[in-house]
Amino acid sequence: MSPLAEALTRLEAIDREQEALARQRQALKREAWLTSGQTIGRARQLITNATLSLLSNGRAINAASLGSEIGRLAGNRDRFAEDLCDDWLNTTVEALESNGVATEESADAL
């Protein structure tokens, strides 16, 4: 292999390693934000506000409608709190399904 080809191969390996490190950094940053007290508080507030909004509009409260309303209320302002709400909703539905409580129809009904 020529010196140029070897250098390009090493450069590609470094680029892949940097990309992997950048993904790891983003994952750690997200995890830190998701576990912060402020994010947890904002996520709880989003769920509360979304629930109240659905109730006041006479809409059914289920995982899909709650997730949509949380997204609408969060907008682009609070992605970490919205992600945490999504994680909570998904975990709840999965727990219901694994305990045999939820069916396809009732999985949406939290």
Q: Where are the domains of the chain?
A: 1-34, 37-110
Length of the chain: 110
pTM higher than 0.85: no
Per-residue pLDDT of the chain (110 residues; tens, 9 = 90+): 899 999 999 999 999 999 999 999 998 887 887 778 888 899 999 999 999 999 999 999 988 999 999 999 998 888 888 988 999 999 888 888 888 775 554 545 55
Q: Is 102 helix (H, G, I), strand (E, B) or coil?
A: coil
* CB of 108 closer than 8 Å to CB of 64: yes
Longest dimension (CA), the chain: 71
The Cα–Cα gap between 1 and 67 comes to: 55
Our CA angle for 31, 87, 41, nearest 5°, is 70
